[in-house]
Structure 1
């Protein structure tokens, strides 16, 4: 079996080392290790990176769509609220897990670890 593309495996929520095991235990909880190859995810920490990318991507998409809708159709404000509040929530939740997987896969690929001051 060939080695998987780590970033694509992370995007799919799979182990960046083997591409077989799961990267997550729950929706966003990282598994302690890969059940297929035993890769250790105990020190994996994506921090705020995925949330920042979700804010930027979802914010751009929703803001562009809302402005376009306003200038093109001039809907009432309640329709904007009905469209864009759930749209923002759905888009944010849909992007969070894949982006967290990509960030963890990038960390795993580059052999990054938390910075520590053990001096």
Structure 2
């Protein structure tokens, strides 16, 4: 078995965080249920909506800053802003969602993160 890939390379290239096989993703942003090579259960990791929320905030701040700079510098018509910033925001969020979700899954695997458990006393 090959050594475990780094979390970043696992996310970028779709590598299993355990064995390094290219089995992490099943679709554009969806995970495969398990690794076909080593059997790691990807469904056991709780990635949730965290990456999407952070990406929306980060990309939103960057796009807002760029839109303000364009408005103050060139004052284009409103339609230019709509045609430029709406698709750019969508492409940036959706495009980076795969990387962010994969990175979070790989980091959860590396640090053995799991859901909290309630203890009956």
Which TM class, normalised by the smaller chain length? 0.7 to 0.9
1:78-114 Cα shifts (integer Å, max 9, x gaps)? 1101100111111111111110000111111111112
Q: Which residues of structure 2 form unaligned runs of 5+?
A: none
Moved over 3 A (4+): none
Residue correspondence of structure 1 range 1-119 to structure 2 within 5 A: 1-117=2-118, 119=120
Q: Shift of the alpha carbon at 1:4?
A: 1.5
Higher RCO structure, 1 or 2 (CA under 8 Å, sep 6+): 1
TM-score (norm 2): 0.87
TM-score (norm 1): 0.88
Q: Which residues of structure 1 form unaligned runs of 5+?
A: none
> How many corresponding residue pairs?
119
1:34-92 Cα shifts (integer Å, max 9, x gaps)? 11222221211112210122112211221121111111111011110110011111111
